[in-house]
Structure 1
Amino acid sequence: MKANNSKRVLYVAIVVTLGGFIFGLDVALISGTVDFLKVEFGLSEFEKGLIASASAWGALVALPLASVISERLGRKSALIMVAALYVVSAVSSTFATSFNTLFAARFLGGLAFSSLSLASMYIGEVSPPKMRGKLVSLNQINIGVGLLAAYCINYIILHGANSGADWAISLGVDQHTWRWMLGVEIIPATIWLILLFTIPKSSRWLLYKSRVEEAKKVLFRLLPSATGEQITEMEVNAKVISIQKSIENEGVKGSAWSQLKELFTPRLRKVLLIGVSIALAQQITGINAIKYYAPSLFEQLGIGRDSAFMSAIWVGLSSFLATLLSLAFIDRLGRKPIAIGGIAMMVICLGVCSYGFKSATYTISNNALVQLEEIPNVSALKPLENKTFYSDVNFKKALKEALGEQEAHKYASLILQKTANINSILILIGVILFVAAYNFSLGPIMWVLLSEIVPTSLRSGVIPFFALITALVSAFAQNLFPWQLEVLGAGNTFLIFMAFGVVGFVLLNRNLVETKNKPIEEIEAELIGMSKKK
């Protein structure tokens, strides 16, 4: 029956998008460990950035491979492989013994980040038009849930490590805090791997491979009936014919390379413009840099480490709630209005954060020196007494010269807490609303659009190509963020992200088209037709 088939589609979508949960968990768990890793392995700011961005660099390698695998073996098989990679990466990261082994483990986990593009590809192919936007958006919802869960877990583990409780000492949480944070990922990654064996193969992919009878079996299970009763053989046959005609009209089959070459032909110019625009805009504002370093970023506000980890939870909560709102409105308001409004809000929030950091001052008063007595060589700060710094860069430089780099980093959070005069509430609200705006708009919109505009015969090559663009921009943003904070300062870093956001706004406003509630076959015909006319 229609209701049963709808429930089956929902179940399949939930299972597939659990990869988004693992992704969100992976992103946020590492955010709590970077400062611990810097101390344990003696990392530079650049090396700290490499650890955080290692998974993004791994994704750059994985996406072309995922393209080939999903084309030859199918979307389901590719998803199973990336789930297995998540498990191996989580175990290896937890027991890493050096910078090199941890980087390798994180890089391996990045190979699994292709699950995001694979999930949107798969769900776009098995979902009814009226459910497609919501179901593809489940990916982003699960990312939000993963982020929220990880920020909460990091805070709980940190609180336990600092509590002196017997259980924390006996389990080694106080000595191996970052290992416990990364080890959490092992359990959900294993569960996801097992559940993926319960979903069917994509009916559209099966028809693309001329496996008609297998495709019909899948359609009988997932295709909703127009009458609300048991799906009929006539309805299934009609859908098969419709998909086959769509595949024939696409006219391209072959390797991922041949698919990419086709993408750059005049007939697909509009698809290329939309894909590149949304792929660049999604990451150009540094969203993943902020997510990966949320606790470290909030420590810059002078609120202390515990409060910084607690504030990161608000980022996760805003991410989750905003994605739920997007799920409710994406098929009502449409893709373009949400995308344009979302990035406009993101630009405003980045501007607010830049202003907040640029207006901050830092003064080591006599009272502050008294409160900093737990620093072994606090007397080295005496020459800086009552001197006001108007730049976080100059202040941190002075601290390093006075205390040495390792000591300055170790006690940076405490020193900022006692010396910073900064509007922390303004910046905190700016960051939270920025993340919320992203998760309401660009986060889910990209995967929905790509699942709709890319022809079936090109998806295994083209969707990973667009995902590759986002991964490349994200990797550079994550890698450079600690260096930017150190050399340019937080105010200038957010100002740069804001300028990039304006570029993203222009690209989206010029190139996006509306696709809500349209069958994929109709969308493909319109876009390819538009490209031919041009």
Structure 2
Amino acid sequence: MNKILRWSIVAALAGFLFGFDTVVISGADKKLQLLWGSSDAFHGSVVMAMALWGTVVGALFGGIPTNKLGRKNTLIIIGLFYVVSAIGSSLVNDPWSFAFFRFLGGLGVGASTIAAPAYVSEIAPAKNRGRLVALYQFNIVLGILIAFLSNYLLRNIGENAWRWMIGIEAFPAIIYTLLVFYVPKSPRWLISKNKISEAKEVLEIINPNENIDEVLAEIKAENERELPGETIFMKKYRFPLILAFFIAFFNQLSGINAFLYYAPRIFEEAGLGESTALLSSIGIGVTNLIFTLLGVSLIDKLGRKTLMYIGSVGYIISLGLVSTAFFLGWQGMAVPIFLFLFIASHAIGQGAVIWVFISEIFPNHLRASGQSFGSSTHWVLAAIIPSLVPMLFSTIGAGVVFLIFTIMMVFQLLFVFYVMPETKGVSLEELSKKLIKQ
């Protein structure tokens, strides 16, 4: 188990870089706009958003190298993208070059949401799979917190502080890339490429107490059901496709990314001062980390559905209260407290479950494509919803926006109750048989 844990942590470090990369830009935001004299529109849609568009492209097409080159090689390429992006964007002197290097980092983020969960789900024993894949989410949250902290510590080191804030990511990126060279290739990917003896060696480490020939036969049988030219959009894969779409759809319709990007602005809207608002953002990071850790530790004990129930109820209560606070004009700590409850509900539910669940529900030969579909749905919505938030706040008001998010979470609760299957403790091959309509 120790080796599997080590390999899972290495793959999950792609998540740490994802979290760090996503948030680190917030520290340089105003400084860069001032430095390059960009208009609000250009600064928002090019300088700040380019990494996000890179993420969307990486999520749309990341399934291709994950299938063709394999999970491990794709993780190495992702690491190189992070390194080049961090060094490049910290050395440039104009907004277009900056946007280009940020776009490269975004490609790494998008592809990592496919390759890392797919890799870990394929090396993990069924009984620990949830916990090991959820390490990816834990690392995302840790990366976010460390980026907030790093920005805070580097903020006063002179006029080039922004270069250090962004460039420092190269250090963890180089370490991660070197570590990936030492993990084995995914046994299920190796079998799909007919590299049986290599796959056998890895399977013997993963399943020391099982008959390896039986495990091999089960994976091979699963692969043999594959027909040439199959895609995830065929009728028999409709159920896993619907599951992947809705878990990603509801993830974003909770308003989570909109909230993470605009936390200080939301706190200021609720009547807190600027410094309190920034401090509250670090508090959000800590809350997120603690409850993600709780979710990771419970996911294989309670199962995915139970965590989604807890998260959904927490969402409905907290978002409903935030909405009420804006409608009735409650001041002071009311909104921050409700939003902390919201973050806790997200972390223990959707946060811990989404990448685990999407990586489990597709058959081996279509896992990367299915992961790519779920991930793309997530990222397209993560690009659209936050970009609408400032406009929606000024037109329909924060109260209505949070009310819409609340109603969406009632629908999520119904989805969990009526549609979502439990995947805890079941082998990937067994799940395939259950979820695919032959």
TM-score range, shorter chain: over 0.9
Residue from 360, 368, 376 that aligns with 1:468: 376
**Alignment partners' CA distance in 2, 1:357 and 1:46:** 28
Q: Which residue of 1 aligns with 2:227?
A: 252
Residue 242 (structure 1) aligned with residue 221 (structure 2): no
Corresponding residue number in structure 2 for 1:439: 347
Q: CA deviation at 1:61?
A: 1.4
Of 35-44 and 192-201, deviating more is 35-44
- 1:396 aligns to what? none
Indicate conservation of the 8 Å contact 1:82/1:115, yes or no.
Answer: yes
**Cα distance in structure 1, aligned partners of 2:408 and 2:244:** 17
Q: Look up the SS of the partner of 2:333 in the other structure.
A: helix
Q: Does 2:121 align with 1:124? A: yes
Displacement of 1:42 after TM fit? Answer: 4.1
1:509 shift after superposition: 3.3
Deviation at 1:301, TM superposition (A): 4.2
Change (3 A) 1:431 1:253: farther
* Equivalent residue number for residue 291 of structure 2: 322
AA in 2 matched with 1:121: A
| Contact 1:350-1:498 within 8 A present in 2 as well | yes
Structure 2 residues without counterparts, runs of 5 or longer:
none
**1:63-462 → structure 2 map (5 Å cutoff):** 63-113=59-109, 114-158=111-155, 161=156, 168=157, 172=158, 175-226=159-210, 235-249=211-225, 251-254=226-229, 258-259=230-231, 263-360=232-329, 423-462=331-370
Give the whole-Å Cα distance in 1 for the aligned partners of 2:150 and 2:377.
Answer: 31
SS at match of 1:514: coil
Residues 1:457 and 1:268: Cα distance change in structure 2 (over 3 Å)? same
- Is the Cα contact below 8 Å between 1:281 and 1:508 reproduced in 2? no
Distance 1:179 1:219, change over 3 A: same
Distance in 2 of aligned mates of 1:343 and 1:331: 18
State the shift of 1:48 in Å. Answer: 4.6
Q: Does 1:498 align with 2:426?
A: no
The amino acid that maps onto 2:370 is V
CA displacement at 1:32 relative to structure 2: 3.0
Distance 1:427 1:73 in 2: 48
Please give the per-residue CA displacement for 1:278-326, whole angstroms capped at 9, x wherever unaligned. Answer: 1111112221222223334334444433332221111111111111111
- AA partner of residue 249 (structure 2): L
Aligned length, in residue pairs: 436
Tell me if the contact between 2:244 and 2:370 (Cα under 8 Å) persists in the aligned partners: no
Given that 1:253 and 1:457 are in contact with CA atoms closer than 8 Å, whether structure 2 keeps it comes out as no
Normalising by structure 2, what TM-score? 0.93
Higher RCO by CA contacts (8 Å cutoff, separation 6 or greater): 1
Distance 2:257 2:227 in 1: 35
Distance 1:303 1:39, change over 3 A: farther
Assess, with a 3 A threshold, how the Cα gap between structure 1 residues 357 and 177 changes in structure 2: closer, same or farther.
Answer: farther
What RMSD, in angstroms, separates the aligned Cα atoms of the two structures?
2.1
Q: Percent identity?
A: 35
Bigger radius of gyration: 1
| Contact 1:45–1:483 (8 Å) recurs in 2 | no
Q: Structure 1 residue 57 and structure 2 residue 57: aligned?
A: no
**2: distance between equivalents of 1:42 and 1:434?**
36
Distance 2:420 2:227 in 1: 24
Read off the aligned partner of 1:238 and give its amino acid letter.
E
Give the deviation of 1:66 after TM superposition. Answer: 1.6
1:24-35 mapped onto 2 (5 Å cutoff)? 24-35=19-30
Offset of 1:37 from its aligned partner?
A: 3.4
Shift of 1:444: 2.3
Distance of 1:278 and 1:205 partners within structure 2 = 25
Query: What is the alpha-carbon distance in structure 2 between the residues aligned to residue 104 and residue 223 of structure 1?
Result: 44
